[in-house]
Amino acid sequence: MIKIENVSLDIYGSSRRILSDINWHIERGESWILFGRNGSGKTKLLEIITGYLFPTEGDVIRFGHGHIGSDIRETRKRIGYVSSALREKFNRDETLLDTVLSGLYASIGLYRKPSVDETEKAHRLLVKTNLAGRENDIIGHLSEGEKQKVLMLRALINDPDILILDEPSTGLDIVAREDFLDSITGLMQGRDHSLIYVTHHVEEIIPVFSRIFVIDDGKCFFNGTVDGAIENKIFSSVFQRDIEVFRRGERLYSSLG
Ligand SMILES: Nc1ncnc2c1ncn2[C@@H]1O[C@H](COP(=O)(O)OP(=O)(O)OP(=O)(O)O)[C@@H](O)[C@H]1O
Ligand SMILES: [Mg+2]
């Protein structure tokens, strides 16, 4: 569905190569963790996937089309992208329901009244994230965790083929983070879209994620299963510290040795 082929990125004025020869294939229905330290190139890679940035070398094939011969605006409608920077822009005097529905306008660029079906769909999404009954609350008054859930639903209202969440847990306390992860599990059930979840916390690798792409200093460090990453002590290697990763029930935890 998304094929990143030999992608490299140089930024004008910076002598350092930001991304080097990245190859990554994301198939329909797959849920991926994109893992890497601060500054490793995760957000730049996402900007290339979403078409906001062109690679210096290589190509990205999205839904069967390379960058030549495809309309990037049409392609973007099929990609739901939520970054933590987006959250800061939503301190608005707008209801929670209208914020979710505004995702429809972002994709088609038109202001129109949502249909009954679309409003019902927004309600159904809200129910799955424990926000039912809060439809008329003001988005600017919500907690960070609630706001993050609303922005995820805003991206999902268009039924994207892939949902990309760039460090969605930033600024969330442990309870809000767990609540957000539960929402992801609920929303992924019965859907066939793909998911990329960016994090540098092992604890956020919940069972819905079976695959992990680890990037370090702009290069692919590991591409495979979560179990494979644990077996190969990838987390210790990437942080160059002794990090023990262990399972308790279905969840993963880490401790620094
Ligand atoms: N316009 C720019 N000019 C020069 N360097 C840049 C520019 N934009 C990003 N970089 C560098 O590219 C590298 C990768 O940045 P990126 O934002 O992708 O990191 P990240 O993995 O998302 O980090 P974080 O976990 O902190 O969000 C960083 O070292 C950053 O300083
Ligand atoms: Mg980033």
- pLDDT at position 69 is 63
- pLDDT at position 107 is 57
Beta strands in 133-210 (DSSP E): 162-166, 194-199
Residue owning the nearest CA to atom 18 of ligand 1:
41
Q: How many A from CA of 43 to the centre of ligand 1? A: 7
Beta strands in 87-210 (DSSP E): 162-166, 194-199
Beta strands in 95-242 (DSSP E): 162-166, 194-199, 211-216, 219-225
Do 52 and 169 have their domain in common?
Answer: yes
Q: How far apart are CA 109 and CA 4, in angstroms?
A: 28
* Confidence label for 106 from pLDDT (cuts 50, 70 and 90): low
Share of the chain above pLDDT 70, in %: 96
Last residue of a domain, one of 132, 159, 186: 159
Do 178 and 224 have their domain in common?
Answer: yes
Do 93 and 56 have their domain in common?
Answer: no
Q: How many A from CA of 159 to the centre of ligand 2? A: 24
Pocket flag, ligand 1, residue 177 (CB < 6 Å): no
Do 192 and 252 have their domain in common?
Answer: yes
Q: How many A from CA of 39 to the centre of ligand 1? A: 5
Is the Cβ–Cβ distance between 164 and 50 less than 8 Å?
A: yes
Do 165 and 185 have their domain in common?
Answer: yes
Is the Cβ–Cβ distance between 86 and 165 less than 8 Å?
A: no
pLDDT in tens, 109-146: 456 788 999 999 999 999 988 898 999 999 989 998 99
pLDDT in tens, 56-68: 999 999 998 876 6
> What global pTM score does this model have?
0.93
Do 65 and 44 have their domain in common?
Answer: yes
Ligand nearest to the backbone CA of 39? 1
Q: Would you call 236 helix, strand, or coil by DSSP? A: helix
Q: Which of 18, 24, 34 is nearest to 229 (CA)?
A: 34
Q: How many A from CA of 8 to the centre of ligand 2? A: 17
- pLDDT at position 192 is 84
Residue owning the nearest CA to atom 6 of ligand 1:
11
Pocket flag, ligand 1, residue 39 (CB < 6 Å): yes
Do 115 and 242 have their domain in common?
Answer: no
CB-neighbour burial class of residue 63 (10 A; exposed 0-12, middle 13-18, buried 19+): middle
Share of the chain above pLDDT 90, in %: 72
Do 251 and 168 have their domain in common?
Answer: yes
* Residue 83 covered by a domain: no
Do 148 and 217 have their domain in common?
Answer: no
* Residue 234 covered by a domain: yes
When pLDDT is averaged across residues 144-160 and rounded to a whole number, the result is 92
- pLDDT at position 257 is 81
Say whether pLDDT at 102 is over 80. yes
pLDDT in tens, 49-95: 998 899 999 999 999 887 666 788 788 889 999 987 787 787 778 89
Last residue of a domain, one of 126, 159, 192: 159
DSSP state, 52? Answer: S
Do 182 and 244 have their domain in common?
Answer: yes
* Residue 190 covered by a domain: yes
Q: Which of 249, 252, 250, 248 is nearest to 234 (CA)?
A: 252
Do 33 and 110 have their domain in common?
Answer: no
- The pLDDT mean for the chain works out to 91
Do 169 and 246 have their domain in common?
Answer: yes
What is the number of domains present in the chain? 2
Pocket flag, ligand 1, residue 41 (CB < 6 Å): yes
Which domain CATH number covers 219? 3.40.50.300
22 lies in which domain range?
A: 2-78+160-256
Last residue of a domain, one of 120, 135, 159: 159
pLDDT in tens, 213-247: 999 999 999 999 999 999 999 999 999 999 999 99
Pocket flag, ligand 1, residue 238 (CB < 6 Å): no
- pLDDT at position 188 is 85
- pLDDT at position 109 is 46
